[in-house]
Amino acid sequence: MAMRQTPLTCSGHTRPVVDLAFSGITPFGYFLISACKDGKPMLRQGDTGDWIGTFLGHKGAVWGATLNMDATKAATAAADFTAKVWDSVSGDEVLSLAHKHIVKSVNFTQDSNHLLTAGNDKLLRIFDLSNTDAAPQEIAGHGAAIKKALWCNDDKQILSAADDKTVRLWDRTSMEEVKTLTFNTSVSSMEYMADGEILVITYGKTIAFYNALSLELIKIAEAPAPINSASLHPEKDFFVAGGEDFKLYKFDYSTQEELESYKGHFGPVHCVRFSPDGELYASGSEDGTLRLWQTAVGKTYGLWKCVLPVCLDNSSESECGEP
């Protein structure tokens, strides 16, 4: 008997959820942070969606949020012209980094010692978190507001996507532009996967995969509706995308074939991310909710409990039931 996807709805936000990020896998599981226009980013247990805490302090919409690998620190980017660093165990604000305009994106290096920020003032900034009195390094070049900035290539390079319709690769040491991709329209999202050095970019109805080092195109897929965000499964067998038609789409990565689509959100999907173990993906929407979706529908995992003796799901590898 075929199982139907049951998304788990995480409520609590009162405005659109615009960004999501998972931590790595820690001894306490993995965690999920959500950025919301209500100004109150939230931390949740990644596999259940259970609320852990709310980071209080921003005085404007929070546009970006991230966790470091071991989920001990969080960083947020907001419309109050600050990026903040938080202790994500206690929820305390640790640092507030002033900017000259709305901050849209924050990203930790792997050792959590540096924070990359970017936003509407068109500059990339690198903050040394162990020396907060020092001014940040600044990289100029983009001609319009930067939407997303990410460390890549073992934190030796930086990728940035901006409203000037470009995605640029920068060298961290020289602070120079290495390569630029130009599009006909602004890129709506960008995700970087270190394992395999893959860059996932969305624009219009397109989900494109690039080599993150060379910025060469690997492959392209087209969705039925404009896409706001996409995420590649850690094992690179699926990718998921969501956008303006409120649905989540699941594709086969090797064939780019659309496998499934799921309804559930009551507004456009702004962000979608796979969990670090690939067992679920989380989506954030204009409707103010986050939803968790199973990769293998019907598998016993987190709060999903398969009670039938044998279940069939989309990927024929997994089955649930009594051992």
Q: Which residues bind other proteins (CB under 8 A)?
A: 1-6, 8-12, 28, 42-44, 48-57, 59, 72, 80-82, 89-91, 93, 292, 294, 297-298, 303-308
Closest distance of CB 85 from other proteins, Å: 13
CA distance 297 to 314: 7
The string over 168-189, giving b where at least 16 C-beta atoms fall within 10 Å of a residue's C-beta and e elsewhere, is: bbbebeeeebbeebebeebbbb
CA distance 69 to 31: 10
Name the residue nearer to other proteins (CB basis): 204 or 276: 276
User: Which one, of 198, 125, 116, lies nearest residue 150 by Cα?
Assistant: 116
Name the residue nearer to other proteins (CB basis): 190 or 290: 290
Residue found by looking up tokens 């409203």 in the block: 163
Closest distance of CB 3 from other proteins, Å: 5
Closest distance of CB 247 from other proteins, Å: 17
Closest distance of CB 270 from other proteins, Å: 19
Name the residue nearer to other proteins (CB basis): 60 or 204: 60
Closest distance of CB 37 from other proteins, Å: 16
The amino acid sitting at 302 is G
List Cα–Cα distances, 186 to 166, 223, 244, in angstroms.
7, 17, 15
Helix (H, G, I), strand (E, B) or coil at 123: coil
Q: Which two tokens stand for residue 95?
A: 């640092």
Residue-wise DSSP of 196-242: TTEEEEEETTEEEEEETTT--EEEEEE-SS-EEEEEE-TTSSEEEEE
Closest distance of CB 35 from other proteins, Å: 15
Closest distance of CB 9 from other proteins, Å: 7
Name the residue nearer to other proteins (CB basis): 81 or 210: 81
Name the residue nearer to other proteins (CB basis): 141 or 264: 264
Name the residue nearer to other proteins (CB basis): 90 or 130: 90
Residue-wise DSSP of 250-306: EEETTT--EEEEE---SS-EEEEEE-TTSSEEEEEETTS-EEEEESSTT--BTTB--
Name the residue nearer to other proteins (CB basis): 49 or 284: 49
The string over 288-319, giving b where at least 16 C-beta atoms fall within 10 Å of a residue's C-beta and e elsewhere, is: bbbbbbbbbbbbbbbebebeeeebebbeeebb
